[in-house]
Amino acid sequence: MSIILRKSRFTLALLAFMAAALAGVSGFATAGEIKITLSGDQEVPPVQTSASGTGTITVEDDKTIKGKITVSGIKPTGAHIHEAPTGKTGDPIISLEKTGENEWSVQSGAKLTDAQYDAAKAGGLYINVHSNEHKGGEIRGQIKR
């Protein structure tokens, strides 16, 4: 076998490997659920509270979004997904439904727009839980890998 033929096969194999690797990281949701921790210090401005929350969110390649959070130490008046990066505030884009005593879930069939999906891939979405004491939000958790 000639050296040129061996180099060509090696180059093709390397290119195939690189293409497969890039294809694997191009999808946002292929890595599964995103774990979220909500706290008052993530709010803008930070809130002193003993309230907290945890949850998981999944953003699929077709831009559907699903998941839920569980909160403690708070009597929520509402919960939403907002669009904004860490340290900034943004408008709510998806309301969460109360589905249990301390549980809030993304509404079935919720879907992101193209811009919101791009923001999600960049870590630019967050969950915010509101209370009577902190109408703008008492705890927050950024949705990012």
User: Hey, what's the torsion of the CAs at 9, 14, 16, 21, to 10 degrees?
Assistant: 170
Residues 6+ apart with CB under 8 A from 103: 68, 69, 70, 71
Q: In terms of Cα–Cα distance, which of 31, 38, 96, 23 is closest to 59?
A: 31
pTM summary value? 0.79
Residuewise pLDDT in 10s, the chain (145 residues): 555 545 555 554 544 444 444 444 444 544 479 999 999 999 999 999 999 999 999 999 999 999 999 999 999 999 999 999 999 999 999 999 999 999 999 999 999 999 999 999 999 999 999 999 999 999 999 999 8
As a whole number of angstroms, the longest Cα–Cα distance in the chain is 77
Q: Under a CB-based contact definition with an 8 Å cutoff, are residues 114 and 63 in contact?
A: yes
Burial class (CB in 10 A: 0-12, 13-18, 19+), 96: buried
